[in-house]
Structure 1
Amino acid sequence: MAFDPDQVECVGDLASLQRGNTYKSKLLGFPGPILLGLASIERGGGFRSDNLKTYGGDSPEKLRLYPGDLYVSLKDVTQAAHLLGAVVRVPEGVRGRLTQDTVKLVIPGVPSDWKAYLYWLLRTPEYRAYCKANSMGTTNLSLSREDFLSFPVPPLSMARQHAVTVLESIESRINHNRALAANLEAIARRLFKSWFVDFDPVRAKATGEKPPGLADDIAALFPDRFVGSESGEVPEGWVYQPITSIASVLSGGTPKRSATEYWDGDIPWYSVVDAPKGSDTFVVQTSEYITQLGLAKSAAKLLPAGVTILSARGTVGKLALTCGPMTINQSCYAMKCDLGDYFTYFTIAQSIEWLKQNVHGAVFDTITKATLNGMMVVTPPRKVALAFEVIVKPLMLRIETSVRECHILLSIRNLLLPSLISGKLRIEEQGLSNV
């Protein structure tokens, strides 16, 4: 039967649902499709790319997901309902499998413009409110298939088509920026590992060779021999010592919640929920802000740009770099040293797995200052660290620019999404036609 847009009144007129099933945890990490469960969904919808795992078990075709496919979660494990009904479009390069927590939208014979329209319709704040209003359960929330399929679909007018086109362009640009940031961060990380973990320039000089790819003045900074240390051989003149010997460690604080005059100011207040996604690295805005009075009346401290933030309680090991004045809560540490902001960041990033394996706490995993005192690093002379800083600075600044642009684009997207329900927004009037 040919597709008839005049017959579309609700989601069920466009799609049917294919539910996923359970998997065997012992087969995680084996070759196979990526498991696309709750962990693959951003709050409110969208693809979350960190901590994805492949699955080597049974993956029948009906449970498989391919680029462009849509899937949703009809459940949530929190009352906030951030994931309830949240929709995801599988990105390029991802081959996935449903889990017991996700459902695929089967959309046969529907034109691509309608499929894109459906995706963005399910990203609107009106749809998010609909999901929460129709949720069932007290501890774990669920949304019935019937309620999901009954969500109204307004006609795809010219105004809505134009809005979808701009939304698609915005998402494409965001994806481009994030891919660029990931590539640049990977380059900087590889250089750090080559110089300060594998000691490649020193190894080359120790065999009488010129370090490949290094200018003569940079190569001259590295020694040509190793000496013994507690960790084994390290480059001559380099020091094996606790991270706290080279970096200052500050904790944060939370202004009194009952004092309204402490909140909703203009000072960013960072908590782990603000941790950058993937390779974004920088935190440019936070979900909460405090006032000058809140800063003065709490243990929170105003941090400068270039400080590495480490989450230390609950969700441990999340990193961020500040790119402007900011405060943090007491579940985080702020770390800075005179060997360079980026050197400090990558030094800590290199030891994240060690930190996660050495947490304390019976109820919550906690990184204490004692944990940091036990985090040993091999430290080069300052001139070597600063040479690294000079080389990676353009890469890191480009990442910061990309992250800032993504935040602007997300703001435009959030402004535009409600128009898919109202159909009233004229793109030209909002200055968005050239996005």
Structure 2
Amino acid sequence: MQSEKHLGDYFQKRSEKGKPGLPLFSVTMNNGLVHRDTLDRKTDTNLADEEHLLIKKGDIAYNMMRMWQGASGLAEQDGIVSPAYVVVAPNSGIDPLFASYWFKSPRMIYLFWAYSYGLTNDRLRLYFKDFAKIPAAPPPVADQRRFATALRTSDQAILQTQELIRAKQRLRDHLVHGLVTGQLRLSHFGDPIRSRSMPFGWKRKELIELARILSGGTPRKDNPEFWGGNYPWYTAKDLKSFRLAASQIQITESGATSGSRIVGPGTILILVRGMTLLKDVPIGVTTTQAAFNQDVRAICANDDVDPTFLAYALVGRRNQLIRMVTRSGHGTGRLQKESIAELPILMPQREEQRKIADLLTTADTELALLHQQLSQLCSQKRGLMQMLSRFLHSNDERTSPP
């Protein structure tokens, strides 16, 4: 029977000082090791390069205060890191890429927590001497590399999809702003605006001239006959997407008529009260009959107005809407009905409205499909990590915390 091995049998601590001119990296919980200047947060350092730690390609750096939360990362090139980190170098029995995924597995995260010391979680620290004591039984290197290759391929697919989503989102936002203001035009409808305030044939109207603005409400919560029905009941928590198909809470027809209001599909919902308004104005369009609470207003387009175009026109005016938000006495954001009603909207003829709405709907559909693809890829990645965990568990069931 082989004697039990530990991480100290597979990793050595690297304590070499940094060298001038090497890139500076930071450890993150979600993205591993990244260039420090790519981080949004302020991370200036007064330390000289030589006062940092050297990290070589294939090494792994970890934040000893956050290792139990997944704060570790693989070095893809030589660099330097904060002396507050721990740098470990794998030996020949460990594939570095495999180790970077291994350290993110649920079992290892648990062991990192179990071997950390501190009175509370926010004071836990995993020093190398304790890291080295953690029981470990990695699979053969050939198996390590198969897992690592599969997981790296999965990560690359996720990254590429995320980049495509960001590019599509930028294009969609550009199209929304341009098409609803006349700065972009569909070719067969005329030229975009140049010096004029709006394209020929368009009209400037206040929102109240184009739609009815309705208030919502909350049925009595002590009446079970009002709750759990077939009507979505939208609140601030539900306005997370442009197409609104479901809500967290449903109400009955009697609940809607007693304390709320039912609107049809194609109704625009806009948040008018809540902390969210201090940074964003959520806007969505119902796809079914629905009800809504008092923090939301419904905008029901007139018969001669395409409701989807009007919704996109409001999205295109989001920055203006944010500027209209006021604070109540306790700091909550508020968007007054009068302000919404007076919002100026540029309106093309009905046919151009419809064409613009169709084009932007297509762009949103493409984005939704990409998000669905990303969700599937992330699910596949979780499946691979679960396979890795099961494989490691079957490889060594002796691993246990102290």
**Short-chain TM bin:** 0.5 to 0.7
Matches within 5 A, 1:184-263: 184-197=168-181, 199-200=182-183, 214-215=186-187, 217-219=188-190, 226=196, 233-235=197-199, 237-239=202-204, 241-242=206-207, 246=211
CA contact (8 A) 1:306 1:322 kept: yes
Instruction: Using the TM superposition, give the Cα deviation of residue 275 of structure 1 relative to its aligned residue in structure 2, in angstroms.
Output: 5.0
Structure 1: runs of 5+ lacking an equivalent:
1-5, 19-32, 77-82, 202-210, 227-232, 427-435
Deviations 1:134-154 (A, max 9, x none): 68566x834313398466554
Partner of 2:353: 385
Distance (Å, rounded) in 1 between the aligned partners of 2:265 and 2:249:
16
2:127 is the alignment partner of 1:143: no
Task: Find the partner of 2:380 among 389, 404, 412.
Answer: 412
Task: Find the partner of 2:148 among 164, 167, 172.
Answer: 164
CA contact (8 A) 2:53 2:81 kept: yes
Letter of the structure 2 residue corresponding to residue 143 of structure 1: L
Matches within 5 A, 1:278-357: 313-316=274-277, 317=280, 319=282, 333=296, 339-341=306-308, 344-345=311-312, 347-348=314-315, 350-352=317-319, 355=322
Task: Find the partner of 1:117 among 58, 77, 98.
Answer: 98
* 1:69–1:358 CA distance, 2 compared to 1 (3 A): farther
Distance (Å, rounded) in 1 between the aligned partners of 2:117 and 2:370:
37
Partner of 1:360: 327
Q: TM-score, normalised by structure 2?
A: 0.59
CA contact (8 A) 1:275 1:318 kept: no
Structure with greater Cα Rg: 2
SS of 2:327 mapped into structure 1: coil
Deviations 1:307-335 (A, max 9, x none): 67759533442757689779899697476
* 1:386–1:418 CA distance, 2 compared to 1 (3 A): same
Deviations 1:386-420 (A, max 9, x none): 33223333332111111111112222322332333
Q: RMSD of the alignment, in Å?
A: 6.2
Partner of 1:431: none
Q: TM-score, normalised by structure 1?
A: 0.56
SS of 2:95 mapped into structure 1: helix
Letter of the structure 2 residue corresponding to residue 114 of structure 1: D
CA contact (8 A) 1:303 1:326 kept: yes
2:146 is the alignment partner of 1:181: no
Distance (Å, rounded) in 2 between the aligned partners of 1:243 and 1:419:
57
**Identical aligned pairs, as a percentage?**
11
Number of residues paired by the alignment? 360
Distance (Å, rounded) in 2 between the aligned partners of 1:409 and 1:11:
35
CA contact (8 A) 1:282 1:323 kept: yes
Partner of 1:155: 138
Deviations 1:194-231 (A, max 9, x none): 3445x435xxxxxxxxx7xx52x2227x67874xxxxx
CA contact (8 A) 2:15 2:53 kept: no
Greater CA drift, 118-127 or 305-314 = 305-314
CA contact (8 A) 1:74 1:142 kept: no
Distance (Å, rounded) in 2 between the aligned partners of 1:357 and 1:11:
63
Greater CA drift, 372-381 or 412-421 = 372-381
SS of 1:418 mapped into structure 2: helix
Letter of the structure 1 residue corresponding to residue 190 of structure 2: A
Deviations 1:32-88 (A, max 9, x none): x99979xx756x9999xxx96375954765499999997766669xxxxxx972437
CA contact (8 A) 1:253 1:330 kept: yes
CA contact (8 A) 2:11 2:91 kept: no
CA contact (8 A) 1:253 1:328 kept: no
2:14 is the alignment partner of 1:13: no
